[in-house]
Amino acid sequence: MLEAVTSEIDKDTDVDDIVPAGLNEILGRVAEGDQAAFGQLYDQTSGRVFGLVRRLLKDSAQSEEVTQEIFLEVWQNAKRYDPSKGSATTWILTMAHRRAVDRIRSSQSTRDRDQKIGLRDLETEYDSVSESVEIRVEHERVGEALKRLTELQRQAVTLAYYGGYSHSEVAQMLKVPIGTVKTRLRDGMIRLRDELGVTS
């Protein structure tokens, strides 16, 4: 039969209170560059580190990557560990938590940036039929307004704006001084503006 074995460890005792002396010593050897000690440290803590990171990140591949980064950081910064500030396990898990949170923030920032760029580059739909109708109606309004100009104003405006001729070319074509062309254009444009209801 099985006999109940009583443990000298109280049920309220934290695991960190049991193991730290060993891990603290191992971490001290890691600080001196002992690769075998690093292997021991990894074997004893990697499960908890990966579990913490996995719980925060939810993604296995990213969790593995962050766990690897954490142990690289442990290897590089083991000399900075101060046993008076906490156990080796606490130091490593704090580092793991910080790294996981940094990865979450970085991922969120990347998603936000990609979304902003995507929205910026998204072509807005427009109704080409509606646009062509608006242009046609606008042309008709301008045509009606042109009919209300004097014949001289209409000729100057039509040649300059629809024909693309310069003021001096319009003056030569109409056989009038350039000043007269400018006056007719100015008066014609003022009248068009009034007819179309455009405010300056």
- pLDDT tens digits, one per residue of 63-80: 999 999 999 999 999 999
CB atoms < 10 A from the CB of 179, how many? 10
What is the distance between the alpha carbons of residues 113 and 64, in angstroms, rounded to a whole number? 25
Per-residue pLDDT at 111: 82
What is the distance between the alpha carbons of residues 84 and 63, in angstroms, rounded to a whole number? 30
Single pTM value for the model: 0.49
Q: Report pLDDT digits (tens) over 121-158.
A: 666 666 677 888 888 888 888 888 888 888 988 889 88
Both tokens assigned to 169: 């070319």
| Domain boundaries, given as residue ranges, for the chain | 15-113, 139-196
What is the distance between the alpha carbons of residues 70 and 77, in angstroms, rounded to a whole number? 10
CB atoms < 10 A from the CB of 138, how many? 11
What torsion, rounded to 10 degrees, do the Cα atoms 157, 161, 165, 170 define?
0
CA 81 centroid distance within chain: 36
Per-residue pLDDT at 134: 85
Which CATH architecture fits 139-196?
Orthogonal Bundle (1.10)
DSSP assignment of 60-120:
HHHHHHHHHHHHHHHHHHGGG--GGG--HHHHHHHHHHHHHHHHHHHHHHHHHHHHHHHHH
> What is the CATH T-level fold of the domain 15-113, as seen in this structure?
Rna Polymerase Sigma Factor; Chain: A (1.10.1740)
**Residue of 191 and 118 predicted with greater confidence:** 191
